[in-house]
């Protein structure tokens, strides 16, 4: 049975993987495997509708799996997935210039797949 498409779930799994990657450095090496599993779950959430985003996550996961010293840019990956799956919220009211520029890029709506292609 194929999993229902959920880009917000994918972003949440990537966020969890990011948090777990920080825990590895604090003396919890077993979190490495759990973080990789969360990345695989993120891929699974994306593959049916956004195969290219699932592939992007997979490339990063495999790179980290092949080299545990590899540094995944989780925040960049999360932003990339959010923007390219049309779930990026309007954050222009947050006051931070970076978020303002991202929010103003998309106006007051989430982009469609065609708009971000």
pLDDT tops 60 at residue 20: yes
Tens of pLDDT, residues 32-62: 999 999 999 999 999 999 999 999 999 999 9
- Listed as own residue / partner, the contacts of 68-71 with beta carbons closer than 8 Å and 24 or more positions apart are 68/32
Phi, psi of 50 (to 5 degrees): -135, 70
pLDDT tops 80 at residue 96: no
Task: Check: CB of residue 41 under 8 Å from CB of residue 16.
Answer: no
**Predicted local confidence at residue 83, as pLDDT:** 87
For residues 24-28, average pLDDT: 94
Task: Check: CB of residue 81 under 8 Å from CB of residue 10.
Answer: yes
The two tokens of residue 47 are 């593959």
* Closest to 5 measured CA to CA, from 108, 113, 111, 77: 113
């Amino acid at each position: 049975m194929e999993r229902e498409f959920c880009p917000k779930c994918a972003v949440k799994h990537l966020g969890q993987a990011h948090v777990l990657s920080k825990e590895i450095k604090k003396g919890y090496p077993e979190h490495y495997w759990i973080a990789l599993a969360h990345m695989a779950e993120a891929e699974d959430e994306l593959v049916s509708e956004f195969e290219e985003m699932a592939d992007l996550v997979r490339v990063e996961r495999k790179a980290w799996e092949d080299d545990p010293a590899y540094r995944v840019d989780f925040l960049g990956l999360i932003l990339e997935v959010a923007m390219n799956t049309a779930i990026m919220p309007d954050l222009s009211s947050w006051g931070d210039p970076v978020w303002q520029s991202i929010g103003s890029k998309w106006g007051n709506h989430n982009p469609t797949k065609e708009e971000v292609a």
